[in-house]
Amino acid sequence: ELPFSESFKIKMVEPIRKSTREERETWIKAAKYNLFNLRSDQVFIDLLTDSGTGAMSDRQWAAMMLGDESYAGASSYYNLKNAIKNILGFEYFLPTHQGRAAENVLFSALVKEGDVVPGNSHFDTTKGHIEFRKATAIDCTIDEAFDTTIDHPFKGNLDLNKLEHVLQSHPKENIPMIIVTVTCNSSGGQPVSMQNMRDVYAMAKEYGIRVLFDSARFAENAYFIKLREEGYADKSIKEIVREMYTYADGMTMSSKKDAIVNMGGFIALREEELFKKASQFNIIYEGFVTYGGMSGRDMNALAQGLDEGTEFDYLETRIKQVAYLGNKLKEFGVPVQEPFGGHAIFVDAKRFLPHIPKEEYIAQTLAIELYKEAGIRGVEIGTLLADRDPGTRENRYPALELLRLAIPRRVYTNNHMDVIAVALKNVFERRNEIKRGYAILEEAPIMRHFTVELAPT
Ligand code: F0G
């Protein structure tokens, strides 16, 4: 058998530049030890996020040239509407400028003070939009998700007992929806099984509650179902995706991930009443209902991206690259979350740096060390991101301290993966020399991780 290789060839390139350790030490200090403050040219391999950082295809760029910039009723809007109908199966949709804008619009129509919103480890903007409305996000993820050493094929699953407990202990009027995040970013890019989607939907209907999918990485989720769940091996990704959405009443989408565009999002719904209500908010916050924060060319590229993003060959190339990095790290003994996520490798910082106290931001300490080592920018998924409790203002210490290495789509080669793996190995070998973590100098009252300023302790 021939070895595996990428399902694309490269038509356009963008130079990147190496730096010296000395330069990086100066830059990270000037950035107050916050990697969000670095300039992109101070970074060699950028793994901050897989969001909006993908490489569009020749077909997507070609679709952009055919974008229709009419204010109302643009053909690009109808192209996108058709793609959403055909691929995802929803009748109604609203374009928004990105995923959190979709949350803002839809939650404005749905969430009120005192509500509860159960789900599987809500993403931070999702949680932010719930808490901003004085409602509560309740995490019902299975316990296995919080132990990085347990091998479970669907660590994104909801625990049905936890979910039923929430549904029983709150009046229906206070539960505007259940949110299922596919794949579950906050638990490590972990998929939700079709069976779990089916069970959650059945329970939701029993209690008369709607189910929404936070869909940023829905296609990667479908790929894992095909590989790991019985009965799906012979189904196409598009068939699996169509079935997934029969267990949802609506969805919010950050198109910057699995639809491989640099900016964009949408809401898709089945209920006409809710669509009408959300349309009002879309007009106020985003733009008229046929463009809502996106230009015609961007809607065209997105329609094409939804089609490409749900093709098996593309997904296989993508997810195998992530696993390639994961396996290298494992060989080097670096503690990583298993099974590997779809969009990222998550390094278990508590197991990597067990001697750093949680009050000194373990995962952030590791992120800074990796940057200094090789100019690689990952992101902390730990105490900084978890923020303070809105009531007590105490730090919330999450079960896991992770360094996320998010892999942009169709951007880096496996040689870059080799560099990342060796750089982390080097840090791992000198881990006992890393004696201290960091303290906060300044922070914002909400979403502090973007702007926080730190100093070594
Ligand atoms: N939902 C999930 C599961 C996400 O991962 C994100 C973004 C959003 C919603 C919000 O979408 O950025 O388009 O407004 N995640 C990015 C990340 C930022 O790096 O994981 P957005």
Q: Residue 210 has what pLDDT?
A: 98
Q: Residue 186 has what pLDDT?
A: 82
Choose the catalytic residue: 81, 122, 127, 257. Answer: 257
CA 53 from chain centre, in angstroms, equals 12
Contact indicator for 403, 377 with CB cutoff of 8 Å: no
Choose the catalytic residue: 83, 137, 216, 222. Answer: 216
Q: What is the largest CA-CA distance in the chain?
A: 61
Of ligand 1's listed atoms, the one at least distance from the Cα of 102 is: 14
* CA atoms of 152 and 145, how far apart (whole Å): 8
* CA atoms of 82 and 86, how far apart (whole Å): 6
CA 62 to ligand 1 centroid distance, Å: 26
Active site residue 165: no
Residue nearest to ligand 1 atom 9, measured at CA: 99
The reply to whether ligand 1 has any atom less than 6 angstroms from the CB of 279 is no
CA 214 to ligand 1 centroid distance, Å: 9
* CA atoms of 321 and 426, how far apart (whole Å): 21
Q: Residue 454 has what pLDDT?
A: 98
Task: Give the global pTM.
Answer: 0.96
CA 216 to ligand 1 centroid distance, Å: 7
Residue nearest to ligand 1 atom 11, measured at CA: 99
The reply to whether ligand 1 has any atom less than 6 angstroms from the CB of 265 is yes
Active site residue 46: no
The reply to whether ligand 1 has any atom less than 6 angstroms from the CB of 129 is no
Residues 6+ away with beta carbon under 8 Å from 86: none
Choose the catalytic residue: 124, 249, 298, 348. Answer: 124
CA angle 430, 146, 424 (to 5 degrees): 20
Active site residue 216: yes
Residue nearest to ligand 1 atom 12, measured at CA: 99
Of ligand 1's listed atoms, the one at least distance from the Cα of 406 is: 19
In SS3 terms, the chain reads as CCCCCCCCCCCCCCCCCCCCHHHHHHHHHHCCCCHHHCCHHHCCEECCCCCCCCCCCHHHHHHHHCCCCCCCCCHHHHHHHHHHHHHHCCCEEEEECCHHHHHHHHHHHHCCCCCEEEECCCCHHHHHHHHHCCCEEEECECHHHHCCCCCCCCCCCECHHHHHHHHHHCCHHHCCCEEEECCECCCCCECCCHHHHHHHHHHHHHCCCCEEEECCCHHHHHHHHHHHCCCCCCCCHHHHHHHHHHHCCEEEEECCCCCCCCCCEEEEECCHHHHHHHHHHHHHHCCCCCCCCCCHHHHHHHHHHHHHHCCHHHHHHHHHHHHHHHHHHHHCCCCECCCCCCCEEEEEHHHHCCCCCHHHCHHHHHHHHHHHHHCEECEEECHHHHCECCCCCCECCCCCCEEEEECCCCCCCHHHHHHHHHHHHHHHHCHHHCCCCEEEEECCCCCHHHCCEEEEC
- Domain coordinates of the chain in residue numbers? 21-50+312-456, 58-309
Of ligand 1's listed atoms, the one at least distance from the Cα of 184 is: 3
Of ligand 1's listed atoms, the one at least distance from the Cα of 101 is: 14
CA 219 to ligand 1 centroid distance, Å: 15
CA 51 to ligand 1 centroid distance, Å: 7
- Beta bridge pairs of residue 139: 119
Q: Residue 187 has what pLDDT?
A: 82
The reply to whether ligand 1 has any atom less than 6 angstroms from the CB of 76 is no
CA 99 to ligand 1 centroid distance, Å: 6
The reply to whether ligand 1 has any atom less than 6 angstroms from the CB of 126 is yes
Mean pLDDT by 10 residues, the chain (457 residues): 95 97 98 98 98 98 98 98 98 98 98 98 93 96 91 97 98 98 91 98 98 98 98 98 98 98 98 98 98 97 98 98 98 96 96 97 98 98 91 91 97 98 98 97 92 97
- Beta bridge pairs of residue 404: 346, 379
Of ligand 1's listed atoms, the one at least distance from the Cα of 265 is: 13
CA 315 from chain centre, in angstroms, equals 16
Q: Residue 390 has what pLDDT?
A: 80
The reply to whether ligand 1 has any atom less than 6 angstroms from the CB of 186 is no
Active site residue 449: yes
Active site residue 214: yes
* CA atoms of 342 and 325, how far apart (whole Å): 12
CA 364 to ligand 1 centroid distance, Å: 19
Top CATH class, 21-50+312-456: alpha beta
Query: Which is nearest to 180 in space by CA: 225, 222, 119, 131?
Result: 119
Active site residue 71: yes
Query: Which is nearest to 238 in space by CA: 179, 178, 297, 314?
Result: 314
The reply to whether ligand 1 has any atom less than 6 angstroms from the CB of 256 is yes
Choose the catalytic residue: 214, 249, 258, 298. Answer: 214
What six digits make up the tokens of 267? 């809401």
Of ligand 1's listed atoms, the one at least distance from the Cα of 181 is: 3
CA 440 to ligand 1 centroid distance, Å: 25
Choose the catalytic residue: 4, 71, 397, 450. Answer: 71
C-alpha distance from residue 407 to each of 303, 404, 433 (Å): 22, 9, 28
Residue nearest to ligand 1 atom 16, measured at CA: 51
Exposure string for 240-255, b = 16+ CB within 10 A, e = fewer: bbbbbbebbbbbbbbb
CATH number of this structure's domain 58-309: 3.40.640.10
Complex ipTM over 0.90 = yes
Contact indicator for 52, 40 with CB cutoff of 8 Å: no
Q: Determine the residue of 139, 183, 185 to mutate for testing ligand 1's pocket, defined as the one with the most ligand atoms within 8 A of the Cβ atom.
A: 185
